[in-house]
């Protein structure tokens, strides 16, 4: 049996919820993970040092209508929000409050987590939190 060990915490956002839910409900147990939550918009499996969540695309962000959106610095991420027919209506997008954080700081817990917290605090409150001495553009 194949067993995943040590991916930490991964959340996948899917557009075809019903197909993805059926697929991952079979795949993740095959990989040794146990289902701990299965809701209308979110599926969650854990095993060993691994946790994998599957969430329905966009609905959570749209319902929450956040004041600020946090995205990675991959090319086109900010523009994709502005171009999306649903997400472009979010308050944060309409008011230009999209904060880009270096992708490696955003996607996983690591030795850079403290740097990520500092950089995010600075990006959200530059008047109160100075740039980190080790910050990169």
Residue 25 has pLDDT above 90, yes or no: yes
pTM: 0.50
- The CA angle 90-99-75, to the nearest 5 degrees, is 95
Which residues make Cβ contacts (< 8 Å) with residue 116, sequence separation at least 6?
101, 102, 105, 106
Q: What is the mean pLDDT of residues 46-55?
A: 83
* Position 51 confidence tier, pLDDT thresholds 50, 70, 90: confident
Answer whether 36's CB lies under 8 Å from 46's CB: yes
pLDDT in tens, 68-98: 888 888 788 888 888 988 888 889 999 998 8
Q: What pLDDT score was predicted for residue 80?
A: 86
Which residues make Cβ contacts (< 8 Å) with residue 5, sequence separation at least 6?
48, 49, 50
**Which residue ranges form the domains of the chain, and what is each CATH number?**
8-56 (3.10.180.10), 59-124 (3.40.50.1980)
What spatial distance separates the first Cα and last Cα of the chain, rounded to whole Å? 44
* Position 7 confidence tier, pLDDT thresholds 50, 70, 90: low
pLDDT greater at residue 30 or residue 3: 30
């Amino acid at each position: 049996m194949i067993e995943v060990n040590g991916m930490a915490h991964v959340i996948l956002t899917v557009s075809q919820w019903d197909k993805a839910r059926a697929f991952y409900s079979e795949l993740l147990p095959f990989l040794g993970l146990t289902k701990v939550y299965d809701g209308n918009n979110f599926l969650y499996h854990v095993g060993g040092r691994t946790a994998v969540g599957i969430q329905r695309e966009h609905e959570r962000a749209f319902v929450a209508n956040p004041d600020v959106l946090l995205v990675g610095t991959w090319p086109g991420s900010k523009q994709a929000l502005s171009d999306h027919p649903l997400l472009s209506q979010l308050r944060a997008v309409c008011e230009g409050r999209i904060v880009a954080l270096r992708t490696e700081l955003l996607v996983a817990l690591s030795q850079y987590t403290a740097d990520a917290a500092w950089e995010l605090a600075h990006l959200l409150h530059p008047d109160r939190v100075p740039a980190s001495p080790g910050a990169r553009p």
